[in-house]
Amino acid sequence: MEPTKGVSRPVSYFPVSPMMLFPDALGNFSVYLWQGGDFVLYTRSGQRFTRRHRKILHNNGVKEVFVQSDEKSNFDTYLEENLGHILGNDSLPWEDRSKVFYEASSGVVEEVFRNKLPSALNEVYFKRVSSIVEDSIRFLASDHSLSAIAPFISHDYKTYTHCIHVFIFTVSILQTYDLSEKELIECGLGAILHDLGKTRIPKAILNKRGPLTRDERQIVQAHPLHGVSMCSMLPLSQNSINCILFHHEKLDGTGYPAGLSGDDIPLPVRAIAVADIYDALTTSRPYADSIPPYEALTLMRHDMRDGLDMDLFKRFVAVLGGADML
């Protein structure tokens, strides 16, 4: 199809790689070209973007197309629905795929945390989170993905970004073990939901500066149980439930809620514990400044070694080093 008539410039536009527009995928947003000093409509909202559309762009050497900013949420929905295609598209640069992954996963998990599963829409959200995990697990298990994602990792603490980071780090650690893709997905889902129960803890306690009272500490320490009870109506595997319920257990038995120790703590849970502490230390929280990666790892190795799986910790350090994150 030939480019159609020119339009005035009513709103701002953002650039998109044509590689993110999939033949036969239907998006509720219009696509524009920048031609002759103006934005020119190329495909209308609701019109299929065909192979021919893509070929014309390719033949003309078009590296960027544009979408109007007021259609950004429709574009984000399209990205989320096509996430598996995008992340598996080797002709897209790692950086572009990482940005799509980070934005899509943050968007969904933020909504889940804002709406405090379970709500009337719990199954819808659960499916969306499950799809994000399934669509991204192979991408995250690649050696290249972590270094490409690193620039997007925020160092300002928010519970939902923390859960995304723990998901990313946990999968990066676990891919060094011989786990099946199904197990990786189940543990990834547990990792991304691990702190869901914090939505039931009053913000005044979660964000309190200074030490917690004994009662406050007990309230905070109930969050793994809240998380599991909030997911009780969802079809979660035992692997996922273990990750939510036991992520604060410690190898020396001093953790909570069950005081498990040693090998009674499943391997994926031990991975989440390492990822969880590392992300918390390297992120600014209301009651504590962030510390640099090297300091965080030193602190974990010296002061927390009795509670952590040190073989797994060494693998994590190697993963971070390999991704140039140290």
For Fe ion, the binding residues (CB under 5 A) are 195
Map tokens 């697990």 to a residue. 137
Nearer to Fe ion, 47 or 221 (CB): 221
Question: How many H-runs (helices) and E-runs (strands) does the chain carry?
Answer: 15, 4
Q: Is 95 within 8 Å of 148 (Cβ atoms)?
A: yes
Other CB atoms closer than 10 Å to residue 214's CB: what's the count?
7
Strand partners, 29: none
In whole angstroms, the minimum distance from the beta carbon of 222 to Fe ion comes to: 11
Distance CA 13, CA 32 (A): 9
In whole angstroms, the minimum distance from the beta carbon of 36 to Fe ion comes to: 55
In whole angstroms, the minimum distance from the beta carbon of 98 to Fe ion comes to: 25
Which residue's CB comes closest to Fe ion? Answer: 195
Nearer to Fe ion, 97 or 194 (CB): 194
Nearer to Fe ion, 104 or 166 (CB): 166
Contacts 24+ apart (CB under 8 A), 43-47: 43/1, 45/71, 45/74
In whole angstroms, the minimum distance from the beta carbon of 211 to Fe ion comes to: 18
68's enclosing H/E stretch is strand 65-68
Radius of gyration of the chain (CA): 22
Q: Is 240 within 8 Å of 214 (Cβ atoms)?
A: no
At a CB cut-off of 8 Å and minimum separation 6, what does 88 contact? 138, 139
Nearer to Fe ion, 195 or 309 (CB): 195
Nearer to Fe ion, 171 or 272 (CB): 272
Q: Is 20 within 8 Å of 80 (Cβ atoms)?
A: no
85 alpha-carbon distance from chain centroid: 17
Nearer to Fe ion, 18 or 224 (CB): 224
Structure tokens at 66: 């544009």
Nearer to Fe ion, 195 or 279 (CB): 195
Edge-to-edge strand ranges of the sheet holding 65-68? 13-16, 65-68, 31-35, 38-43
Strand partners, 41: 32
Q: Is 61 within 8 Å of 29 (Cβ atoms)?
A: no
In whole angstroms, the minimum distance from the beta carbon of 119 to Fe ion comes to: 21
Nearer to Fe ion, 128 or 226 (CB): 226
